[in-house]
Structure 1
Amino acid sequence: ELTRDKLCSVIKKWHTLIEGWTDVRTTDGYTVRMFAIAFTKKQDNAVSSNVYAKASQVRLIRKRMVDVMNAEAGKVALRDLVKNLIAESIGKEIEKRGKKIYPLY
């Protein structure tokens, strides 16, 4: 969980903030509520100063976030899930699938 001042320092002006959350049941029976956030990223050839994603793109990215979290966390035990979260493998997978729709970081 991020503190308010840390979250405010992460959020950038002129970018879209995309948040997703889901309740996932691990293989050993624990129910974990997972949250993920992503930000749009400016493309190299962009002329405009803002990098807002359309609402349909945000919905599609959020859906992919939830799908990745369900797929990755639903097939492992809680101990392995914590290892995956520390190694940021779930975050990298979310970024990889989401940037096909809109550049993310």
Structure 2
Amino acid sequence: MAVNHATEAPRALGELVVVYDASKDHFDVDEEFLKKHHTSLGMNWNIYTSEGTRYKFYFSQGFVTITGKVLGGWKHFCEEKNINDGDKVVFQYLGFSKYNYIPAEPNQIGA
């Protein structure tokens, strides 16, 4: 019997762990993850929240930051999600140009 994959949730290929820097309104990114997934400088990506909201962002400055292409900047996103300066945030990597924001406690990261 065939399995209907269309109704299944997308399977994460990895997790992108970032740290919010409120003073610069961006996330510091794990450089090795970006190299592994061949992300190029200035490439546009999408983040989808659990509510289905889409945020555009791009990697810049030598693969170490995500600069928001978000209405109101990342500050608005972080206030809405109760993310504070220095907090770790997890995005599930779903494949080319797609990430999904997942709330995570700092002690759950890397578990």
> What interval of TM-score do these two structures reach, taking the shorter chain for normalisation?
under 0.3
Q: TM-score, normalised by structure 1?
A: 0.25
Q: Kindly indicate which of the two structures has a greater share of residues assigned to strand.
A: 2
